[in-house]
A and B are shown apart, each in its own frame.
Chain A
Amino acid sequence: MEGKVVFTVFRHDPSAGERPRFVRYEVPYRSGMTVLDGLLYIKERIDHTLAIRYSCRMGICGSCGMKVNGLPRLACFTQVSELGRSIKVEPLPNHPLVRDLVTDFTAFFSKHRAVKPWLIRKDAEEQENPTRQYLQSDQELERYIQFSYCISCGLCYSACPVVTALPEFPGPQALAWLYRFYADSRDQGGRERLRLVDDATGIWRCHFAGSCSQVCPKGVDPALAIQLLRRAVLRG
């Protein structure tokens, strides 16, 4: 693939009171180019006012989530060669817009914090000042290891149809994190954790559309975590 790639980029600044619009940019293609590379080319050489958020450029930090050709993806993790010559880039759905491709993750991270994503020990003193290591077997590790690969990029949250319909729903990321700690043999949160999501807007509202698992760039399966969590809640 050689020549130019056309980026159609969503542009909108809510604070300026302007109307949302799509702007076309032509970017020269080079081998190995990612969508983030293309956007940075636009920002550096064509339009400095384009707002994007990124950090590590290698699929670890989860900062550059955006909707690329209709699907939530990490811009740094998406090769232009996979998409063809025409690429449409929009901000992530289900997150309030800040500007252009930058979205506000405040609600997302407050839901993340609400599920207490840390190990809970019954002994408060031990929790603050651990006196020993808490060893695990391979089998105990396997119960939650895949869910710990989550980088909190928010792609699953933006793909979730339930979050769209019911903004109070915790979302797949928070629920997967909850299960990750619930399934951890070192954790003593148990029922306290389950009660956090056993309400009218909690875990029961998942439709099991599975779009969260489809879009996860790290291969995490939040839909599975939600089903396992439901089973745990049902068993009390």
Chain B
Amino acid sequence: MSERRLMLLHYVTGIGILITGAVHLWVVFFTVPLDQTIWETTMLFDNHPFAILSVYRNALLASTLWLLLVFTTYHAMNGIRVILMELIPNRSFVSAIKWVLIALGLFLVVYGTRTILIAYNIR
């Protein structure tokens, strides 16, 4: 993929993080699935230990969370690539680290997706 596309995705995912992150925070702090917000029920674990699952059980919110995961992972991995490129300006190192970051990013997305799916299916 050309550098132009990599960086275009970097900017798009940055905006995506702002939007999906805002949705996530709004859900956690301002929605009241039970008798308190998710943040409050999570802090008072004894009262509603699984209140957070209400987020995962809503398909729209779970999708937003998944998008936040994908956007954050891409943005972070590409950001690390750019930092390492300037820190260690060696083409073969940069090429090698690129594959390490792709593998790490895929792992994070797969593991995070698994977590979201498991929580979504809990009844």
B-contacting residues of A (Cβ < 8 Å)? 162, 165-168, 198-202, 204-205, 233-234, 236
Contacts and interface: CB of A to CB of B under 8 A. Distances in A.
Size class of the contact patch on chain B: 10 to 19
A205 B87 CA distance: 12
A199 B82 CA distance: 12
A204 B11 CA distance: 11
Q: SS class of chain A's interface: helix, strand, loop or mixed?
A: loop
A204 B3 contact: yes
Contacts of B108: none
11 contacts: A165-B89, A166-B85, A167-B89, A198-B2, A200-B3, A200-B85, A201-B85, A202-B3, A204-B7, A204-B82, A234-B8
B86 to A, nearest CB: 4
A167 B89 CA distance: 8
B123 interface: no
Contacts of B3: 198-200, 202, 204
Q: Which 5 A-B pairs have the closest CB atoms?
A: A165-B86, A204-B7, A166-B86, A198-B4, A166-B89
A65 to B, nearest CB: 24
Nearest to A199: B3
A200 B2 CA distance: 9
Contact of A165 (B2, B4, B87, B94): B87
